[in-house]
């Protein structure tokens, strides 16, 4: 899910990792176990470390109290406003999933319809193809990365 806290836009999700559930925030993994304590209180544990936090969701607003700070996060809709869209050369993840293959590199020329990468979602493989002829400016993901809608995967010049 994409949330806004103040001016900061954050991509956050919970996935199953090798040692249980882990939070992934802007591509950075935070492994650990979360237990509900009741009344919107939770504890996050990793090894010998433990931290209590509080989280309440009211519609599209999430109130999170963590580490002595309180955050008000607003869930952004899946399709962002046009003013917030990336440049026209940016190809974005079409749905939440996991990158299972990347077939291009920066500087590579591509033709319309070339398969650039593959995202697995809901046990189906979804090819992301070049919408036009061009040159790959940047590749922002690698196999194994988890992605969400709107996350830039590849930029074309």
Domain termination site, one of 51, 75, 99: 75
**CA–CA separation, 32 vs 82, rounded Å?**
36
* pLDDT tops 90 at residue 136: yes
Mean pLDDT of the chain: 81
Whether residue 93 sits in one domain with residue 118: yes
Question: What's residue 78's pLDDT?
Answer: 57
Which of helix, strand or coil describes residue 74?
strand
Which of helix, strand or coil describes residue 51?
strand
Full residue range of the structural domain in which residue 41 is found = 2-75
Whether residue 150 sits in one domain with residue 102: yes
DSSP 11-40: EEEEEEETTEEEEEETTEEEE-EEEEEETT
Count of beta carbons in the 10 Å neighbourhood of residue 91: 19
When divided into structural domains, the chain yields a total of 2
Question: What's residue 28's pLDDT?
Answer: 78
**CA–CA separation, 146 vs 99, rounded Å?**
6
Cα of first residue to Cα of last residue in the chain, in angstroms, is 28
**pLDDT digit string (tens) for 79-94?**
544 444 445 678 887 7
32 Cβ neighbours under 8 A, 6+ residues apart: 20, 21, 22, 23, 44, 45, 46, 49
Whether residue 10 sits in one domain with residue 65: yes
Domain termination site, one of 21, 48, 75: 75
pLDDT band at 104; cut points 50, 70, 90: very high
User: Tokens in use for 104?
Assistant: 């291009």
**CA–CA separation, 130 vs 147, rounded Å?**
18
Q: Estimate to the nearest angstrom the gap between the alpha carbon of 17 and the chain centroid.
A: 15
Whether residue 104 sits in one domain with residue 140: yes
CATH of the domain at 120: 2.40.50.100
Residue with token string 């940047």: 138
Question: What's residue 82's pLDDT?
Answer: 40
Domain termination site, one of 75, 94, 128: 75
């Amino acid at each position: 899910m994409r949330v806004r806290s103040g001016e900061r836009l954050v991509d956050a999700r919970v996935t199953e990792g090798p040692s249980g559930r882990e939070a992934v925030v802007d591509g950075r993994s935070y492994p650990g176990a979360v237990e509900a304590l009741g009344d919107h209180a939770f504890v996050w544990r990793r090894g010998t470390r433990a931290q209590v936090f509080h989280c309440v969701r009211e519609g599209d607003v999430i109130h999170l109290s963590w580490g002595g700070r309180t955050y008000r996060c607003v869930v952004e809709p899946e399709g962002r406003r046009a003013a917030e869209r990336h440049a026209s050369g940016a190809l974005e993840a079409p749905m939440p999933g996991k990158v299972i293959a990347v077939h291009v590199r920066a500087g590579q020329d591509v033709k319309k319809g070339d398969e650039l990468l593959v995202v697995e979602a809901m046990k189906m493989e979804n090819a992301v193809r070049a919408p036009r002829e061009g040159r790959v400016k940047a590749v922002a993901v690698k196999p194994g990365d988890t992605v969400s809608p709107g996350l830039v995967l590849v930029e074309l010049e």
